[in-house]
Amino acid sequence: AQSVTQPDIHITVSEGASLELRCNYSYGATPYLFWYVQSPGQGLQLLLKYFSGDTLVQGIKGFEAEFKRSQSSFNLRKPSVHWSDAAEYFCAVGARAGGTSYGKLTFGQGTILTVHP
Amino acid sequence: DTGVSQDPRHKITKRGQNVTFRCDPISEHNRLYWYRQTLGQGPEFLTYFQNEAQLEKSRLLSDRFSAERPKGSFSTLEIQRTEQGDSAMYLCASSGSGEGWETQYFGPGTRLLVL
């Protein structure tokens, strides 16, 4: 069964500082990997995704993530955080077509990001 | 493209009542998903439709829950005899076919509170 672990429940950074949010996954093959962001009371917005190819993927709002197969990780990074980045961030793994659960996303518990001015 | 819409956005009900939520996916998307998100947790998969066919249901979807997508467009999620444990955010997502089918786009959610 697929699973996702986000070790950090809450992270606080100062505006302008760099950010790294950790994500570890468990999946039997090469997964599809996603990062979503959720503002309070809102739905999920896709930041970026990894399917194959280049292991460093660029997303919206200046975010990037790196897929490391050997570490089963897909950490999200941003070089300089803005106050508007304060939100909750979810890593998710998706099953590939042909599996018994294709299409289904499994999410981590989320990491709440607080940004200090 | 107006995105995924959900109605209502908020619902307060008394224990034992039935509730129904609606999801309108992105118009050309043939795949539709329901998730449930409780406070402090990530979304959990409930069920999946491809066109009008319900292809997968989570064990989280008890007998009190039913979902339909009768014409392969909008979907409804009904909860019968609601319980306080049903209080959560119910999220709908859709995706297309062909290239990019794996990417799900989420609606704003329906927040349910059962008193």
Do B108 and B23 contact (CB within 8 A), yes or no? no
Q: How many angstroms away from the CA of A110 is the closest CA of chain B?
A: 6
Structure tokens at A10: 């809450």
CA distance A43 to B92: 9
CA distance A85 to A114: 8
| pLDDT of residue A95 exceeding 90 | no
Say if the Cβ atoms of A104 and B107 lie within 8 Å.
Answer: no
pLDDT category at B14 given cuts 50, 70, 90 is: very high
Q: Determine whether the interchain pair A105/B31 forms a contact, defined as Cβ–Cβ distance below 8 Å.
A: no
How much is the pLDDT for B56? 87
Tell whether B96 lies on the interface with A, counting CB pairs under 8 A. no
Beta strands in A6-108 (DSSP E): 10-14, 19-21, 24-26, 32-38, 44-50, 56-58, 64-68, 73-78, 87-94, 105-107
Q: Which band of pLDDT confidence, cut at 50, 70 and 90, is reported for residue A52? A: confident
Say whether B109 and A42 touch across the interface (CB within 8 A).
yes
Higher pLDDT, B96 or B67: B67
**pLDDT, chain A, mean:** 91
CA distance A41 to chain B (A): 8
Pairing of strands A111-116, A19-21: unpaired
Residue A87 distance to chain B (closest CA, Å): 13
* Rounded CA separation B88/B64 (Å): 15
Asked if B102 and A51 come within 8 Å (Cβ–Cβ), the reply is yes
A37 contacts on B by Cβ (under 8 Å): none
Taking contacts as CB-CB distances below 8 angstroms, the residues of chain B near A32 are: 102
